[in-house]
Amino acid sequence: METNPERDPENPSEAEHPKIATELSRNLTLLQVTMMGVGMMIGAGVFLGVGNAVRIAGPGGVILTFALNAVIALFTAMSYAELSSAVPRAGGAYNFARIAFGKGTSFLAGWMEWFASSVAGSLYAVTFALYTVHYFTQLGIIQATGFKLVLVEKGVAILIASFFVYINYRGASETGTMGAIFTLGQTVTLAFIALVGIGTAISDPARLANFQPFLPNGWDKLLITMGFTYVAFEGFEVIAQAGDETIEPRRNLPKAMMYSIVIVMFTYVGVAFASIVGVKDVGQPAWIWIGNYGGKGFGEAISRLIPSYGSVLVTITVICASTSALNATIYSATRASYALGRDRMLPAVLSRLHPKRRTPYMALLSTGGLVIVVAAFLPTIDVASSASMMFLFLFFLVNLCVIRIRRQMADEMTYGFVMPLFPIPPIAAILIQAVLAVYLVHMSPIAWVVGPMWVLSGLIIYHLYSKHRAIRTEDEIVVIREEPIPSKGEYRILISVANPANAIALAMNCYRFCQAKGASTEVEVINMVNIPPLLPLSEASKYTQAGEEAITQAMLYLAPRYAFGSTIRYCRNFARCIISAAAERKADLLIMGWQGHRRQGFSLGSTVDPVLERATCNIAVFKDCRQHKYMNVLVPYAGGPNATFSLETASIMVDKDEGRVVVLHVASPGKPTQDIDAFLDETVPQLNASRSLFEPKYVIARDRFKILLEEAEQHDLVVIGATRDPVFRQRVMGSLPEELARNCKKPLIMVKAKHPIKSFIKRWM
């Protein structure tokens, strides 16, 4: 948790570059971003992957591998789509993690994104060089051998990487156009190969015998092939990076992610089918023949399918695929490092934009350097396996982010897309990707060495540099002033006060709870500063006066008798601030006031609704409770999980000498009634109150709401448990407690009891 309200003064780097003066240029169309995604997916990996997958999983296994991977990838793509539609900014997973988990996790996400995309770029540059040089060697244009040949290949790899660094420097539009041209070329070629395969199978059905045995090595081998080909679906990452540069990003980014998965899935399944049926009369089963060629199996199979020009076609396609993938990965890695620089996680120089072209040229330069160094000097294939591993980590993290943001911050988001069937897709993706990551070890143990080393270096950089310099974002909770209670006593109450007017009433009611809970009770008051929009956080201290007065009022009332603490915080969303403080302070009870106003779209209010829904402690919301004595307290009872806490609250609020608590159950005609006496006999002994204080009352009526409202008018306080329905269901179906709270003219307390298991899950989610 941050403790300093100032943004600028202690952040010299920001002072030097106070605000990014220009924005990235927004001119990428739906077609361009879709093609960038497709281009990144259909890299060289799939061509190498087909042969190897056939060897391990067999002829049917390779097709199943791509089909099943597409489903899993779509689940993660839906998470990316939902988050990108809500946060359409350069940075992708880095941005999502920043909002969901804070700056530490987000730095690691950005750091991994940068590395994974850069190394993938190196792999594509090297693949381009290998195929091009091999092709020219076959034509006799290049005659080098041995070490000279390696030097030529490295030189070509550096040249092509430099060329695409220049294309990216020219601007997003040029990058998108170039990517779209290459990707369209390769996709059309692959679709042609797939169609030839289908046509061949129709004209010569005997070739379908190549699919027997369908899965010669068993079903379990599917997991291995799915593990190492899954990264061939990673293109939605580059689409997420294009948030700042896409036209209508909230609509186009999610669409582009979905469309790219569909295009790629049919392409992969089609070419895998074509490669199987392409082989005939080779003296052994087709899958063994293709598998024996390993990474070259696809090319050899297509050469058999189209003998006259299949080899040339494959070479051209691989060259197109590796260049479009190289283009997309350089773009993606550049945006990842740009985002890190923009938020000062890495030096601000990375966020500099070219004044004319609006491209992050310094981030591009550093990314280009990384791509070239890895391509020229490191064993790219091994390092690329680590990149695959890191992409899996990233996807894992993004799926966690989508769940956490929906649970905790959905009110603050403006979504352009919400995934159907939530939370099944992200949970399924997390579980299946964990299995695939484990199986990836079988293919490349080195991935488990290089990957953690990169993460470790990121952790060191974060703790030495980024942690102290990162700019706070508007989504963060900032502690402006704080006087905490040092140790946790037996019972801790957190009171949320908005202004001096409600502070005394809440303190007075809190005092009753303190008396009931004993002398070791602690009270902490929280006030949220309301800073006008567009003002920087450094102005927050000018708006703390009302909060300080409110805290003083509460302190005068409570501090003489009980341990007292206070905190003033700023957050764009008050509810999140209160929920976070309650969890952080391990509060047993949260007390807050409600004025009775309601915003459209909410049951009780934009602050009270989320707090009741998500806070992990007992909650008591007070409406108009300003009296010193309550003689007649009404507790509507329906046997829910909040009944015991309602009764306890009523017993604390009522005058114990002369007052009474009426426990009312309104049953519909013909329906069984609750046994109030049994409930009271069981509960009252735990409450330190006399049984004679409570009176059961039964009413049978069709209109329960009308009876409750009439009964409420005859009492001077109503204590009612909050509904158990999710908020959106309340909005659709309606909810009796909230309806009563809105219409009741008498003082009212709405309570919600902590549910141990749900609270535990919420804390972690």
What is the sign of the dihedral through the CA atoms of 618, 623, 626 and 632?
Answer: negative
Identity of the residue, 211 or 491, whose beta carbon is nearer to other proteins in the bound complex: 211
Is residue 519 close enough to count as binding other proteins by CB under 8 A?
A: no
Identity of the residue, 284 or 487, whose beta carbon is nearer to other proteins in the bound complex: 284
Smallest gap, in angstroms, from Cβ of residue 410 to other proteins?
Answer: 4
Smallest gap, in angstroms, from Cβ of residue 213 to other proteins?
Answer: 7
Site mask for other proteins (CB under 8 A), range 394-433, x = bound: ------------x---xx-xxxxxxxx-------------
Site mask for other proteins (CB under 8 A), range 194-233, x = bound: -----------xx-xx-xxxxx------------------
| Binding residue for other proteins, selected from 602, 622, 679, 694, defined by CB under 8 A | 602
Closest by Cα among 394, 386, 390, 391 to 444: 386
Identity of the residue, 9 or 601, whose beta carbon is nearer to other proteins in the bound complex: 601
Single-letter code of the amino acid located at 741 = A
The interaxial angle of helices 676-683 and 643-653, nearest 10 deg, is 70
| Consecutive H or E run containing 284 | none
Quickly count helices (H) and strands (E) in the chain.
Answer: 28, 11
Smallest gap, in angstroms, from Cβ of residue 550 to other proteins?
Answer: 29
Stretch that binds other proteins, among 60-68, 168-176, 293-301, 568-576 (CB under 8 A): 60-68
User: Buried (b) or exposed (e) across 256-278, using 16+ Cβ within 10 A?
Assistant: bbbbbbebbbbbbbbbbbbbbbb
Question: What part of residues 263-282 is at the interface with other proteins (CB under 8 A)?
Answer: 265-266, 269
Site mask for other proteins (CB under 8 A), range 80-99, x = bound: -x---x--------------
Smallest gap, in angstroms, from Cβ of residue 59 to other proteins?
Answer: 10
Residues 103, 442: contact at Cβ < 8 Å?
A: no
Tokens for 408?
């905790």
Q: Given the DSSP bridges, would you call strands 478-483 and 563-570 parallel, antiparallel or unpaired?
A: antiparallel
Rounded to whole angstroms, the Cα distance separating 685 from 704 reads 29
Residues 179, 39: contact at Cβ < 8 Å?
A: yes
Strands (DSSP E) found in 571-654? 589-593, 618-623, 632-636
Rounded to whole angstroms, the Cα distance separating 453 from 386 reads 10
Residues 333, 114: contact at Cβ < 8 Å?
A: yes
Smallest gap, in angstroms, from Cβ of residue 40 to other proteins?
Answer: 18
Smallest gap, in angstroms, from Cβ of residue 277 to other proteins?
Answer: 11
Stretch that binds other proteins, among 10-18, 98-106, 250-258, 707-715 (CB under 8 A): 250-258
Rounded to whole angstroms, the Cα distance separating 24 from 335 reads 10
Single-letter code of the amino acid located at 71 = V
Length of the chain: 765
Long-range contacts of 292-299 (CB under 8 A, 24+ apart): 292/55, 293/51, 294/48, 294/51, 294/52, 294/55, 295/47, 295/48, 295/51, 295/52, 296/51, 297/50, 297/51, 297/52, 297/54, 297/55, 298/47, 298/48, 298/50, 298/51, 298/271, 299/47
Smallest gap, in angstroms, from Cβ of residue 616 to other proteins?
Answer: 21
Smallest gap, in angstroms, from Cβ of residue 214 to other proteins?
Answer: 4
Identity of the residue, 475 or 588, whose beta carbon is nearer to other proteins in the bound complex: 475
Is residue 56 close enough to count as binding other proteins by CB under 8 A?
A: no
Is residue 64 close enough to count as binding other proteins by CB under 8 A?
A: yes
Is residue 533 close enough to count as binding other proteins by CB under 8 A?
A: no
Beta bridge partners of 752: 619
Beta bridge partners of 700: 667
| Binding residue for other proteins, selected from 98, 154, 221, 255, defined by CB under 8 A | 255
Identity of the residue, 205 or 484, whose beta carbon is nearer to other proteins in the bound complex: 205
- Peptide bond before 213: cis, by omega within 30 degrees of 0? yes
Smallest gap, in angstroms, from Cβ of residue 537 to other proteins?
Answer: 24
Rounded to whole angstroms, the Cα distance separating 532 from 546 reads 14
| Binding residue for other proteins, selected from 91, 227, 254, 547, defined by CB under 8 A | 254
Give the SS3 label for residue 369: helix
Give the SS3 label for residue 630: strand
Identity of the residue, 74 or 684, whose beta carbon is nearer to other proteins in the bound complex: 74
Residues 223, 436: contact at Cβ < 8 Å?
A: yes
Number of residues that bind other proteins (CB under 8 A): 49
Rounded to whole angstroms, the Cα distance separating 756 from 105 reads 28
Is residue 304 close enough to count as binding other proteins by CB under 8 A?
A: no
Is residue 545 close enough to count as binding other proteins by CB under 8 A?
A: no
What is the sign of the dihedral through the CA atoms of 707, 710, 714 and 715?
Answer: positive
Identity of the residue, 221 or 569, whose beta carbon is nearer to other proteins in the bound complex: 221
Smallest gap, in angstroms, from Cβ of residue 70 to other proteins?
Answer: 5
Identity of the residue, 411 or 655, whose beta carbon is nearer to other proteins in the bound complex: 411
Is residue 68 close enough to count as binding other proteins by CB under 8 A?
A: yes
Identity of the residue, 208 or 456, whose beta carbon is nearer to other proteins in the bound complex: 208
Alpha carbon distances (Å) from 763 to 44, 311, 497, 510, 582: 43, 57, 23, 25, 11
Q: Which residues contact 137 (CB under 8 A, 6 or more apart)?
A: 143, 144, 149
**Cβ atoms within 10 Å of 210's Cβ, excluding its own:** 22
Identity of the residue, 59 or 451, whose beta carbon is nearer to other proteins in the bound complex: 59
- Which one-letter DSSP state was computed for residue 666? E
Identity of the residue, 30 or 631, whose beta carbon is nearer to other proteins in the bound complex: 30
| Binding residue for other proteins, selected from 17, 26, 731, 755, defined by CB under 8 A | 731
Identity of the residue, 430 or 664, whose beta carbon is nearer to other proteins in the bound complex: 430
Smallest gap, in angstroms, from Cβ of residue 605 to other proteins?
Answer: 13
| Binding residue for other proteins, selected from 99, 727, 749, 750, defined by CB under 8 A | 727
- Which one-letter DSSP state was computed for residue 601? T
Identity of the residue, 61 or 368, whose beta carbon is nearer to other proteins in the bound complex: 61
- Which one-letter DSSP state was computed for residue 618? E
Smallest gap, in angstroms, from Cβ of residue 50 to other proteins?
Answer: 16
Smallest gap, in angstroms, from Cβ of residue 413 to other proteins?
Answer: 6
Tokens for 177?
């156009």
| Binding residue for other proteins, selected from 199, 728, 760, 765, defined by CB under 8 A | 728
Contacts with other proteins, residue ranges (CB under 8 A): 60, 63-64, 67-68, 70-71, 74, 78, 81, 85, 205-206, 208-209, 211-215, 250-251, 254-255, 258-259, 261-262, 265-266, 269, 406, 410-411, 413-420, 601-602, 727-729, 731-732
